Amino acid sequence: MNCLFILVILIPLLPLLAAGGITAYILSGQARGDAGEPPTARLAEAAVWLALLGLLGLDTLALIEGAPGHMVIGTWFASGDFTIPISFVLDGLSLSYATLVALIGLVTLRFSRHYLHREPGFHRFYIFMCVFLAGMLLIVLSGNAVLTFVGWEFAGISSFLLIGYAYDRPVATGNALWAFITNRIGDAGFILGIALAAWWLGSVEWAELGNWADNASVFDKVTARLVLFGFLLAAVIKSAQFPFSTWIARALEGPTPSSAIFYGAVMVHAGVYLVLRLEPVLLHVPGVMVALAIVGALTALYGWLVGLVQTDVKSSLIFATTTQVGLMFLACGLGWFQVAAWHMGLHTIWRAYQFLLAPSYMHLVTEKARPVPAWLAGRQWLYTAALQRFWLDQLVVSTLVRPTRAVGRDMRDFDDNVLAHLVGMPARHRAGAFNEVDRDKVILGHGLAGALLVWVAERLHRFESRLVMRQGAGPLVGAMRRAGEYLLVLEALLERPRYLILLVVAIFVIIL
């Protein structure tokens, strides 16, 4: 059993160790030129190979002896009666999907070796990919919400960094920031779900949530709705469901391999996987399942209509992905969790293949582009809405971006007109620099705090000039010189043996 524990821990840890190894390789100064690329690729691929072999071993064990199920390896955090264990869940869902994640990750890394050859950020890409794979494996295998959230953040930060892979392009960094901020809303929901589960239920284990839902004597629908709200908000945003679908199209600024594994194949399904983990609780709250089905249906309809008017290969694929993931949420809302799980696995494989093939589509396709369907072209209002992606981007700008900028402007005005006078700094000018008058005000102590500082500075200057300086003859300087002379006399006496022995004896007498 101890070997099994070590194996389970190593599976998500190996890609993370590979990311650390690549970082050390870069810092050593050897990762230069064409000859520096193969060691980075081999290290990343070897780590994922080992993780895949470990998962295949667990799959074999599950087929022979049955899935190990919920495993508690140790305690991560404990406070009173509340504990957060280091736990993993090894059932049919987690083992099969983790194996799929490792397999697609390995294929993507192998594809990236040649696709990103001689790219300036080659090694950086492999570091982020390894961190992402570690996060996804942790999401799939974790036995509690806290460990899942750690993997959730690993996947999120690596996604943000790879969207902004070409950081010298403002469009890439802007889209990365858009995706990052949108997903932070989902992270806040995830933290809310964890906090409510810990506070009200006393546990964040997925198995304990299921046991609580099955116990009619303690189960409460109001509590369940509030806990589910946090987790489902995170799931809906991570899987780019309506109305939070705007970020995923912007995420295509990253390299094609990251688009394939992040938004086409793996990470976009993290929300679906979280919903599948919440199945025991959802079955007892049909109202939430209806809301989930509505969100999934709206997302599928949105992705289908917008995808019909796309002319870019990756954009068409990403809206097709949005449509399929929306259907998975719809299936979960209708109670077809097994259908959603099979759909998730099959879609992961097919969409990863399509995204990796996307760079070759322009060479493979010889036919003319298919026109927009006649029924859509004949409805001008619907066609325009699809072209504008139903104005979701503008809605986000109006409801989030503009209010945030307005708050920033108000805070700047408050800083210029109120705080600046209190701390003694003049208000900023449009040119962004202080003129000579402003500099004099700063030096002389403008404002309440500035006047106080000037008063303290004058007192210290008076003390220094009268007692210390005074051309080296101040009373304080004279006292320090006399003290120095006395110390020199005492040092000379202590250098004589008899006085030194007398001092030692006196110390012993005082001590005893």
Residues 114 and 213 in one domain: no
pLDDT of residue 476: 62
Query: Contact, 245 vs 319, CB < 8 A?
Result: no
Residues 255 and 355 in one domain: yes
Residues 6+ apart with CB under 8 A from 32: none
- Print the domain residue range for 14: 1-143
Residues 212 and 349 in one domain: yes
Does some domain include residue 235? yes
Does some domain include residue 460? no
Question: End of a domain among 387, 412, 437?
Answer: 387
Angle between helix 92-115 and 337-364 (nearest 10): 10
Tokens at 425, concatenated:
């700094």
- What are the distances in angstroms from CA 16 to CA 12, 289, 363? 7, 36, 37
Residues 127 and 177 in one domain: no
Location of structure tokens 């209002």: 381
Residues 257 and 297 in one domain: yes
- pLDDT tens string for the chain (512 positions)? 577 888 888 899 999 999 999 998 888 888 777 788 888 889 999 999 999 999 999 989 888 888 888 888 888 877 777 788 888 998 888 999 999 999 998 988 888 888 888 788 888 888 989 999 999 999 999 988 999 999 999 988 888 888 888 777 888 888 888 888 888 888 999 999 999 988 888 888 888 888 888 887 788 888 888 989 999 999 999 988 988 888 888 888 777 777 777 777 788 899 999 999 999 999 988 889 999 999 999 999 999 988 888 877 878 888 889 999 999 999 999 989 999 999 999 998 888 888 888 777 767 776 666 677 777 777 787 877 777 777 787 887 777 767 777 777 778 777 777 766 665 555 554 444 445 555 455 455 555 666 677 788 787 777 766 655 555 555 666 677 778 777 777 777 766 666 666 667 677 667 65
3-state SS class at 116: coil
Which residues lie across from 8 on neighbouring strands? none
Please choose, from the candidates 100, 111, 99, the residue with its C-alpha nearest in 3D space to the C-alpha of residue 265.
Answer: 100
pLDDT of residue 198: 87
Does some domain include residue 449? no
Cα 397 to Cα 403: distance, rounded to the nearest angstrom: 9
Residues 275 and 377 in one domain: yes
The radius of gyration computed from the CA coordinates of the chain, to the nearest angstrom, equals 32
Does some domain include residue 164? no
Cα 80 to Cα 57: distance, rounded to the nearest angstrom: 38
- What are the distances in angstroms from CA 378 to CA 202, 369, 374? 57, 19, 6
Question: End of a domain among 355, 387, 419?
Answer: 387
Tokens at 170, concatenated:
């403002």
Residues 125 and 57 in one domain: yes
Tokens at 246, concatenated:
């705007």
Residues 245 and 366 in one domain: yes
Q: Which amino acid is at 47?
A: A
Residues 218 and 301 in one domain: yes
pLDDT of residue 331: 94
Question: End of a domain among 387, 409, 430?
Answer: 387
Does some domain include residue 438? no
Residues 6+ apart with CB under 8 A from 390: 302, 305, 306
Q: What is the DSSP string of 176-196?
A: HHHHHHHHHHHHHHHHHHHHH
Cα 500 to Cα 492: distance, rounded to the nearest angstrom: 10
Eight-state DSSP code of residue 427: P
Residues 86 and 10 in one domain: yes
What is the end-to-end Cα distance of the chain in Å, rounded?
61
Helix, strand, coil percentages, rounded to 5, for the chain:
80, 5, 15
Location of structure tokens 């858009």: 178
Q: Which amino acid is at 407?
A: V
Location of structure tokens 């992961």: 348
Residues 132 and 180 in one domain: no
pLDDT of residue 431: 42
pLDDT of residue 374: 74
Count of the separate structural domains present in the chain? 3
Residues 126 and 76 in one domain: yes
Which residues lie across from 446 on neighbouring strands? none
**CA 253 remoteness from chain centre:** 18
